[in-house]
Amino acid sequence: MAHDPRYTLNPWVWILTLLATAALCLRLWCRKFRHRGLWWDDYIFVVSWALLFSASAVFTADLNAGMGRLDYEKQDVHILFRTCFDLNTLCSALSKTAFAVTLLRLVEASWQKRMIWFIIVTISLLNVANAIVWWASVCGRPRSLAALPGHCLSQAAFGLLSTACGAYGALIDFILALLPWGYVWKLRTYRRERLAISVAMSLGVVAGVTAIARIAYSVAMESSGTDYEISAGRIEYSYQTCVIFVFLQAEPAVTIIAATIPVIRVLVRDAISAPDDEWEDTTMQGLKETSGNASGLLSAATRDVEEMGSFHVPKSAP
């Protein structure tokens, strides 16, 4: 290992954390002062961000204690290592849950609502199980001082659960990214506006791509043949594990950032364009003039799309 993770990896963790922090603050400000106040999804995002920040802080402390660069068994190193991974696991589950809760207020079909609730329950249970398993010891390796007493788990079992969580999380990211398209595309507004809103609400797919990249890296690391019995092998394996943690932190950070993109889009648009007489603000009256259908476009779901994208409805749209 030629690099010190305190200088090669830790900065990336904090860059992701600070970007997510800025994005969340912008989202909360816009939802609080430009729209109708905060919703449950906003509060869940706040808890997710708190876990993200805590995981970054614990990871930094772990690196300073020797993780990824020293070959010795210290209880605090292993406890910090498992703690930061647990915080990240719960953070990832909550960030996906927050976006799913947002979609609950948008979709109208009962099967879509059932699917979203299924996603929320399963992603939560799977990630809680993964967080608990992190405290088990690996069969065939020296028992960690921080491992819980009891039976050990094989390295294959650890890898299988981690891969399953990552793959399922990536699948969920893609599903949640596609769900808004059907509803938004039915809105009576310009095609380019519908496309912009749909794309802005679907950028969570980047988190899914990040999860796939992390899985590929993990598989490559496990198949590299690193000898854990020698000092250099243990140090290298420890460093590569820190690299995986950077990928893990990127997933919830990207989800939080993606959830703010619709708000950023509106702020940029408002900053560079002046009001146009042919457009009306997105209000209940504007929607009524456009559709004449109170059961559809005047629903609570439409008002939520307004708040997420703050689009304008033209007097006459194709």
pTM over 0.85: no
- pLDDT, position 133: 84
- pLDDT, position 44: 96
Rg of the chain taking only CA atoms, in angstroms: 22
Is the pLDDT at 75 greater than 90, yes or no?
no
Residues 6+ apart with CB under 8 A from 95: 45, 48, 52, 251, 252, 255, 256
The confidence band for 144, taking pLDDT boundaries of 50, 70 and 90, is: low
The confidence band for 180, taking pLDDT boundaries of 50, 70 and 90, is: confident
The confidence band for 79, taking pLDDT boundaries of 50, 70 and 90, is: confident
Is the pLDDT at 309 greater than 50, yes or no?
no
Residue 240 or 33, more confident: 240
Q: Quote the CA–CA distance of 125 and 119 in Å, as a whole number.
A: 10
Lookup result for tokens 């595309």: 185
The confidence band for 237, taking pLDDT boundaries of 50, 70 and 90, is: confident
Is the pLDDT at 305 greater than 80, yes or no?
no
- pLDDT, position 50: 98
For residues 176 and 99, the answer to whether their CB atoms sit within 8 Å is: yes
The confidence band for 77, taking pLDDT boundaries of 50, 70 and 90, is: confident
Enumerate domains of the chain plus CATH numbers. Answer: 5-314 (1.20.1070)
Residue of 28, 78, 82 lying closest to 55 (CA atoms): 82
What's the mean pLDDT when you consider all of the chain?
A: 78
Looking at 158-167, 239-248, 294-303, 306-315, which range is the least confident one? 294-303
Residue 167 or 267, more confident: 167
pLDDT one-digit tens code per residue, 39-69: 899 999 999 999 999 999 999 999 998 888 8
Is the pLDDT at 255 greater than 60, yes or no?
yes
- pLDDT, position 72: 59
User: Looking at residues 168-173, what average pLDDT do you find?
Assistant: 93
- pLDDT, position 313: 41
Residue 165 or 156, more confident: 165
